[in-house]
Copies of this chain bind each other. A is one copy, B any other.
């Protein structure tokens, strides 16, 4: 995709309707366009906060802990806006799961420009609150769930986010490896694999190759995910 088209995709998703041409142009002038191959880490924390828009493909935001341990903090798909912090207790890097097209902005300039258009800050705020909500749900899983509950809730969440394949509502193709899933759920590859096998033998899922997954019993999975809905 050519750069102008890339930026247009960002504009359509994130800039509110009726944004002024001036703002539009100023955003474009601070944007940096990057294409990344699967496995690349096009961005590493470099002391300045950044904001990335995922125009196509999918990414993971990874934090490094000591001794080579890694924690996947979030996965992102086309249309997502990612805030990448830099002055935190852990180094973060954004990493492509599949080939990706990304639009980068320095966070300070992005936020300053956003303030020119009131609807724009609101849009970014909405997205930030959604990201916060997802992060909190992940916190619950990491802190208080068993391996099986973690994987079950992961699959239910991903089913919502990556959407259906070829019309079947409960069929999806996951771009991340077992290692990525483990690093996201605080588990090892082996435990993830064993839980996949377990869910398979319980008749809740079917796998096809390395990335194909069909949820045979969404309600059953939710029941095993340890969710507790708010009382009405």
Chain A stretch 116-164: residues in CB contact (< 8 A) with chain B: 118-119, 121-122, 124-125, 128-129, 131-133, 135-140, 142-145, 149, 153, 156
Are B46 and A230 in touch, CB under 8 angstroms?
yes
State whether A136 touches B231 (Cβ < 8 A): no
- Which secondary structure dominates chain A's binding surface? mixed
CB distance from A70 to the nearest CB of B (A): 7
> Does A170 sit within 8 A of B, measured CB to CB?
no
**Interface check A66, CB cutoff 8 A:** yes
B230 touches A47 (CB 8 A): yes
CB contacts (< 8 Å) of A138 on chain B: these are 139
Copies of this protein in the complex: 2
* B residues near A87, Cβ cutoff 8 Å: 230
Is A12 part of the binding interface, using a Cβ–Cβ cutoff of 8 Å?
A: no
> CB within 8 Å of B: which of A171-209?
183-186
A106 within 8 A of B: no
Query: Taking CB as reference atom, which chain B residue is nearest A182?
Result: B143
Could you list 13 further interchain pairs (A-B, Cβ under 8 angstroms) beyond the known A69-B145, A89-B227?
A47-B230, A63-B136, A64-B228, A65-B149, A67-B226, A71-B144, A74-B136, A83-B129, A89-B156, A89-B225, A90-B137, A91-B231, A92-B136
